[in-house]
Copies of this chain bind each other. A is one copy, B any other.
Amino acid sequence: MTRWRRNESGNIAMSTPGYADDKVAVLARLKKIEGQVRGIHKMIDSDRYCIDVLQQISAATRALQGVALHLLDEHLTHCVVHAVESGGAEKDAKLREASAAIAQLVKS
């Protein structure tokens, strides 16, 4: 599978991101999370009980984390695999970058 496309001006090649195949599903998950955050805003605005608000924040946090893990998975199986197969400096750079992203995700 080629993971390259032409941009609007038609003359610069850009790689499609690893999540290209299920972009619609990822967008739907983000819309839902946006709604969750708006719901938390409403809860605060209506003086809802702290503990109930905290539960909704945990749910939104886990949902964001789920999207991040999904994107990372797609990134590994597409972008990183592509770089490994191409070899050279790109391979090392992509591996270092992926490790840094994993570390950031684990620590956040």
Contacts and interface: CB of A to CB of B under 8 A. Distances in A.
Tell me whether chain A's interface is mostly helix, strand or loop, or mixed: helix
A2 B54 CA distance: 23
Interface residues of A, number: 62
Interface in A12-32: 14, 16-20, 23, 26-27, 30-31
Nearest to A91: B81
B69 A64 contact: no
A73 B44 contact: no
Interface of A: 14, 16-20, 23, 26-27, 30-31, 33-34, 37-38, 40-41, 44-45, 47-51, 53-55, 57-58, 60-62, 64-65, 67-69, 71-77, 79-81, 84-85, 91, 95, 97-99, 101-108
A-B pairs, 4 with minimum CB distance: A50-B75, A58-B108, A30-B41, A73-B99
Given A30-B37, A55-B101, 6 more contacts: A16-B47, A40-B67, A54-B104, A61-B64, A61-B68, A76-B98
